[in-house]
Amino acid sequence: MRFVKRHLIPRLLQYFLVTFLGLTMAFVLPRLMPADPVEQLITQMQAVGAGISPEHREEMMRTLRQLYGLEGTLWQQYVIFWKKLLSVDFGPSLFQYPVPVSKIIGQSLPWTLGLLFTTTAISWILGNLIGGLAGYFHYKKWPKLLDGAAMLLRPIPYYIVAMLVLIFLAYVFPIFPLAGGIGIGVRVAFNLEAIKSLLRHAALPALTLVIVGWVVNFQAMKLIVQTVRSEDYVSYAQFAGVKDGIIAFRYVIRNAMLPQLTQLGLSFGQIFAGALITEMVFAYPGIGWILYQAVLRADYNLIMGILCISIIAITTSILVLDLVYPLFDPRVRYR
Amino acid sequence: MKLIRDLFKDYRFAVAFGIVCLILLLAILSAFSPYDPRNAYQTPRGLPPSWQHPLGTTWLGQDVFWQLTFAVRNSLTIAIIASIISRLIAIIVGVLAGYKGGIVDRVLMSIGDSTLTLPIFVVLVLVSLVLRQWVRQLVNLGLLLAFFAWAWDARVIRSQVLSLREREFTFTSVLSGMGSFKLIFKQYLPFLLPVVFTTLINNMSWAIGMEMTLSYLGLGIDPSIPTLGTMIQMAIYRQAIFLGLWWWILSPIAASVLLFVALYWISLSLSEYLDPRARMQRIGGKQ
């Protein structure tokens, strides 16, 4: 009970406050802009050659304002914004008019989540395992080589890594498909052909995310393990003749895992943004690809919807990680 | 002088410094370009690298090498504007929050924390879509990026000011009648500058990467102004890979990879130099 009162309730309050502030910012930001999205859209339509008479222009502007929730005073708009948000209604999309934005996002969310969770898990486990071993055996040759590779890979942004992976593994050596989430004509189903096609299409985006994510975990874990390694209890175990492998896994890496878990929570927003960028490059049918389409067609509602969903997704995942944390650390039992 | 000699002992700093010098040289060379970067069809189209065109020519009849000099110059300009302005905001916010404390601190920090939880990439996409015309200028894009990059550093600076505020010399200065401004500029700033400088370099690299990603979306800089981002975007858009013009797309990618690695290595060896504990940790010594 004390756990609920002292940790769960304040943490939940903080969660709601941060989500609320973030969503409010998402509401305020586009309204701070000097440019009017409605006016811009109509100018764009006219630039493409659509003949719009002055009366029609007025009517269109009114309809669009209503669609975008830009009618009335700022306060009224804000109330409408929250009402719509709570009923998961972001209005219709322009890009696939009149399909509601929430439906488009709902269709692409599983793709992103699937890609994101598998690659985050793989790169976290792989990075920590190899980083831990490299930190423990830091005097050997191979950790130094890996360290050098990590120092070359670390600063390169997702976009460039994705670009290079695409050029080399899809154009130069066409091993993997160029774009898409599943082969043309193949339906998502639970059979061998569909799964094979799914995996083949996911391979390159996943590879990109794992390459970048792995390096971050590797470097951090290696540093932590090197510190833990010089602790007295490790030297004691060594003198007592405990095998190196057992010390590395049971004594050192286990202890060093915990800061990494917090790190995962903190960097989740970045990983998420990276996944969006990767999806754009590989035309993977997740949120990132939808965002790309929305930008090309200036689909304001869809972008707002994606922004709100991502804010909620990021704050929620950080909350979950925070609450799960004591399960892994016997020293942090909420008392 | 001793500082510089110490830094050069680290091979990473020496290599990175060399690369940065080369890249700066490229940027300076743009002043002597025989071609105007905005004009197309000034050379034969799609020539492979040769003596006359060291990095070949594009399908639009532009010389890749000279185009690259402009691209590097413009990307660096954006990065420098973004990082310097955001550092200024970070210093002002951090010092104000740390020094004043109380309600000012709480308000400033909660604004900063909310920008940290925002998925900045999506926000940048939204803002640069709404402000499409405005962000087409180099300076404006730099300012936009600066606006979203101060929160974390403001937090770091605030925590430093919090500890500096409790030190003996603060009381001495205040009691001997030094004004707040003078105290902050004369006494605190020297403590804050090392952190600011390291994050400045990281931030430059972030800004260059963001510019590239926004260019890929067709947002950001006017595509006729060459930056590393618009050059790559142009090559992709004109199907450089299908046409087999690998020098067109790989040159800006290679230049940016070199730049990213060099900036990262400089910031790494600088922060290790400033914090010897990190250096000991890296070589695995006992602390």
Q: What are the DSSP calls for A113-143, one per residue? A: HHHHHHHHHHHHHHHHHHHHHHHHTTTSHHH
Q: Average pLDDT of A199-215?
A: 88
Tokens 């189209």, residue located: B45
The distance from CA A182 to its chain's CA centroid, rounded to whole angstroms, is 21
CA dihedral of residues B274, B276, B282, B287 (deg, nearest 10): -160
Chain B residue with CA closest to A272: the answer is B119
Q: What is the mean pLDDT of chain B?
A: 84
Q: Average pLDDT of A303-308?
A: 88
**Contact between residue B96 and residue B88 where contact means Cβ atoms under 8 Å apart:** no
Dihedral sign (CA A145, A150, A156, A158)? positive
Q: CA of B277: how far to CAs of A33, A143, A219, A223, B282, in Å?
A: 46, 20, 16, 11, 9
- Is B284 a residue whose pLDDT tops 60? no
Q: Which of B4, B2, B1, B10 is nearest to B272 (CA)?
A: B10
Q: What are the residues whose beta carbons fall under 8 Å from the beta carbon of B111, sequence distance 6 or more? A: none
The answer to whether the CB atoms of A155 and B260 lie below 8 A apart is: yes
- Is B75 a residue whose pLDDT tops 90? yes
**Contact between residue B46 and residue B245 where contact means Cβ atoms under 8 Å apart:** yes
**Contact between residue B212 and residue B232 where contact means Cβ atoms under 8 Å apart:** yes
A171 secondary structure, DSSP code: I
Q: Average pLDDT of B70-82?
A: 93
pLDDT band at A335 (very low <50, low <70, confident <90, very high): very low
Q: Check residue A3 and give its pLDDT.
A: 67
CA–CA separation, A166 vs B1, rounded Å?
Answer: 46
Residue B208's CB: how many other CB atoms inside 10 A? 26
Q: Which range is least confidently modeled, B78-92, B125-139, B206-220, B273-287?
A: B273-287
CA–CA separation, A20 vs A179, rounded Å?
Answer: 37
CA–CA separation, B138 vs B143, rounded Å?
Answer: 9
Q: Average pLDDT of A9-29?
A: 84
Q: Which range is least confidently modeled, A19-28, A245-254, B37-46, B257-266?
A: B37-46
Work out the burial of residue B79: count CB atoms within 10 Å of its CB; fewer than 13 is exposed, 13-18 middle, 19 or more buried. buried
Q: Which of A265, A288, A269 is nearest to A159 (CA)?
A: A288
CA–CA separation, A114 vs A310, rounded Å?
Answer: 15
Q: What are the DSSP calls for B132-166, one per residue? A: TTGGGSHHHHHHHHHHTS-HHHHHHHHHHHHHHHT
Tokens 């071609």, residue located: B35
Q: Average pLDDT of A196-221?
A: 87
Q: Check residue B256 and give its pLDDT.
A: 93
The distance from CA A296 to its chain's CA centroid, rounded to whole angstroms, is 21
Among candidates B114, B116, B241 on the partner chain, residue whose Cβ is nearest the Cβ of A167: B241
Residue window 224-263, chain B: list those with CB within 8 Å of chain A.
Answer: 232, 241, 249-250, 253, 256-257, 260-261, 263
- Is A217 a residue whose pLDDT tops 70? yes
Number of residues that this document lists for chain B:
287
Structure confidence by residue, pLDDT tens digits, A73-97: 788 888 888 888 888 888 787 767 7
Q: Which of A2-16, A45-59, A257-271, B78-92 has the highest mean pLDDT?
A: B78-92
The identity of residue A31, as a single letter, is R
The distance from CA B182 to its chain's CA centroid, rounded to whole angstroms, is 30
Number of residues that this document lists for chain A:
335
Q: Check residue A86 and give its pLDDT.
A: 85
Q: Which of A196, A128, A215, A313 is nearest to B117 (CA)?
A: A313
CA–CA separation, A230 vs A251, rounded Å?
Answer: 12
- DSSP SS3 for B49: coil
Whether B212 and chain A come into contact, CB under 8 Å, resolves to yes
Tokens 């975008």, residue located: A68
Q: b/e string for A181-200 if b means 16 or more Cβ within 10 A?
A: bbeeebeeeeeeeeeebbee
Q: Average pLDDT of B17-21?
A: 92
Residue B76's CB: how many other CB atoms inside 10 A? 21
Rg of chain A (C-alpha set)? 25
Q: Average pLDDT of A21-41?
A: 75
Percent of chain A beyond pLDDT 90? 3
Q: Average pLDDT of B42-71?
A: 82
CA–CA separation, A327 vs A268, rounded Å?
Answer: 19
Structure confidence by residue, pLDDT tens digits, B236-276: 888 777 777 888 888 999 999 999 999 999 888 888 887 76
The answer to whether the CB atoms of A296 and B218 lie below 8 A apart is: yes
Q: Which of B239, B255, B256 is nearest to B55 (CA)?
A: B255
A281 contact residues in B (CB cutoff 8 A): 216
Percent of chain B beyond pLDDT 90? 21
* Count of CB pairs separated by less than 8 Å, A with B: 134
**Contact between residue A300 and residue A102 where contact means Cβ atoms under 8 Å apart:** no
pLDDT band at B287 (very low <50, low <70, confident <90, very high): very low
Structure confidence by residue, pLDDT tens digits, A224-281: 888 888 888 888 888 888 888 888 888 888 777 877 877 777 777 778 888 888 998 8
Q: Which range is least confidently modeled, A248-252, A294-298, A325-329?
A: A325-329
Work out the burial of residue B46: count CB atoms within 10 Å of its CB; fewer than 13 is exposed, 13-18 middle, 19 or more buried. middle
Q: What are the DSSP calls for A144-160, one per residue? A: HHHHHHHHHHTTS-HHH
CA distance to partner chain A, nearest, from residue B172 (Å) = 38
The identity of residue B217, as a single letter, is L
Q: Check residue B278 and give its pLDDT.
A: 60
User: What architecture (CATH level 2) is domain A109-298?
Assistant: Orthogonal Bundle (1.10)
The answer to whether the CB atoms of B127 and A304 lie below 8 A apart is: no
Q: What is the CA angle B259-B260-B263, rounded to 5? A: 85
Q: Average pLDDT of A13-32?
A: 82
Q: Average pLDDT of B227-237?
A: 88
The answer to whether the CB atoms of B130 and A167 lie below 8 A apart is: no
Q: Check residue B286 and give its pLDDT.
A: 43
- Is B30 a residue whose pLDDT tops 80? yes
The answer to whether the CB atoms of B256 and A281 lie below 8 A apart is: no
Q: Check residue A74 and give its pLDDT.
A: 80
The identity of residue A84, as a single letter, is K
β-bridge mates for residue A298, sequence order = none
Q: For an interface test with B, give the residue of A230, A233, A317 to mutate (most B CBs within 10 A).
A: A230
CA–CA separation, B66 vs B241, rounded Å?
Answer: 20
Among candidates A139, A154, A164 on the partner chain, residue whose Cβ is nearest the Cβ of B253: A164
pTM for the structure as a whole: 0.85
- Is A34 a residue whose pLDDT tops 70? no
C-alpha neighbours within 13 Å on the C-beta side of residue A249: 4
Token readout for B248 is 């067109």
Token readout for A179 is 């774009």
Of the two residues A190 and B18, the one the predictor is more confident about is B18
Q: CA of A134: how far to CAs of A249, A259, B130, in Å?
A: 12, 17, 47
